[in-house]
């Protein structure tokens, strides 16, 4: 009797076959795929035939093995090209602002700097952050910048440090490589960064790097507020909200972490 399955079940089986083929360097026969997936031989053959017709799979007539083509790679490239960090982050940033009532920033790395590319201002706040879209700041003196730096290797961090014009923007700014290394180590352990008036007096922030499909930091998100409100206790309350927004944006950017 022929196997009966719903459209969703058929799709799930097709993905199972495709994933097995993607993992096989030398290709797989129908017999091997049948054993690996537990599907009936006729089902495997039918799905492979459809994949061959669509150009996702090709059959080696000499070995009778099936292999994936580069069509999936081409499609993935188109998806990546169409990823827009600002567009993807806008909704989660607004949700985060509405949850906690604080200003949310989004930045991307550019050389040794970060560039502010989106901002969701806190509502009903008498204090406005000096940040603006398009503004550049050095990585070493910002929470968002340090979050990105912490995702890099020591060699990459040293290269960015050498490219930076190190200066104390406030009395709290990190101005030695040794101090920066210590701070980055702490960020790597806990997964998020702080800006303790290092970039702007009277302002503290908590920040986390955003990752893309390659696992690299493609940007960072932060919550900023006046020092008088940003106590250690309040920062601890903000942290899970920030990380949830960061995870949502990263997943939508293709991160599998």
Whether residue 256 is predicted with pLDDT greater than 90 in this model: the reply is no
The strand pairing partners of 204, in sequence order, are: 196, 225
pLDDT average, residue stretch 77-81: 60
Whether residue 82 is predicted with pLDDT greater than 60 in this model: the reply is no
* pLDDT band at residue 90 using 50, 70 and 90 as cut-offs: very high
Q: Give residue 84's pLDDT.
A: 87
> What span, in angstroms and rounded, lies between the C-alpha atoms of 33 and 251?
30
Handedness of CA 199, 117, 247, 96 (dihedral sign): positive
Residue at token pair 């054993």: 35
- Contact (Cβ atoms closer than 8 angstroms) between residue 221 and residue 208: yes
Any idea how long the chain is? 257
Average pLDDT value over all residues in the chain: 89
Question: Angle at which helices 30-37 and 41-54 pack, to 10 degrees?
Answer: 120
pLDDT per residue over 19-64, tens digit each? 999 888 889 999 999 999 999 999 999 999 999 999 999 999 999 9
Q: Give residue 168's pLDDT.
A: 93
pLDDT average, residue stretch 235-245: 96
pLDDT average, residue stretch 84-100: 94
Query: pTM for this one?
Result: 0.71
Residue at token pair 């960015």: 160
Of 3-12, 21-30, 46-55, 157-166, the least confident? 3-12
Q: Give residue 178's pLDDT.
A: 95
Q: Give residue 1's pLDDT.
A: 42
pLDDT per residue over 178-208, tens digit each? 999 999 999 999 999 999 999 888 889 999 9
The phi, psi pair for 137, rounded to 5°, reads -140, 150
> What span, in angstroms and rounded, lies between the C-alpha atoms of 162 and 181?
14
* pLDDT band at residue 237 using 50, 70 and 90 as cut-offs: very high
Whether residue 2 is predicted with pLDDT greater than 50 in this model: the reply is no
Using only C-alpha atoms, the chain has a radius of gyration, in whole angstroms, of 24
């Amino acid at each position: 009797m022929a196997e009966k399955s719903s459209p969703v079940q058929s799709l799930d089986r097709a993905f199972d076959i495709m994933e097995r083929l993607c993992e096989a360097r030398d290709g797989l026969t129908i017999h091997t795929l049948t054993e690996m997936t537990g599907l009936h031989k006729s089902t495997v053959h039918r799905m492979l035939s459809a994949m061959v017709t669509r150009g996702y799979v090709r059959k080696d007539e000499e070995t009778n093995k099936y292999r994936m083509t580069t069509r999936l790679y081409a499609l993935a490239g188109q998806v990546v090209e169409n990823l827009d960090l600002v567009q993807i982050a806008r909704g989660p940033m607004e949700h985060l602002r509405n949850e906690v009532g604080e200003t949310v920033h989004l930045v991307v790395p550019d050389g040794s700097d970060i560039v502010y590319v989106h901002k969701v201002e806190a509502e009903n706040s008498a204090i406005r952050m000096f940040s603006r879209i398009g503004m550049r700041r050095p990585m070493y003196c910002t929470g968002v910048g340090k979050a990105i730096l912490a995702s890099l290797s020591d060699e990459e961090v040293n290269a960015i440090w050498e490219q930076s014009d190190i200066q104390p923007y406030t009395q709290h700014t990190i101005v030695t490589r040794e101090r920066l290394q210590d701070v980055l180590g702490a960020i790597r352990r806990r997964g998020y960064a702080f800006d303790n008036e290092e970039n702007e007096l009277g302002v503290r922030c908590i920040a986390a790097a955003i990752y893309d499909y390659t696992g690299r930091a493609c940007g960072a998100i932060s919550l900023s507020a006046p020092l008088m409100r940003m106590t250690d206790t309040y920062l601890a309350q903000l942290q899970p909200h920030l990380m949830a927004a960061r995870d949502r944006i990263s997943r939508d950017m293709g991160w599998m972490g």
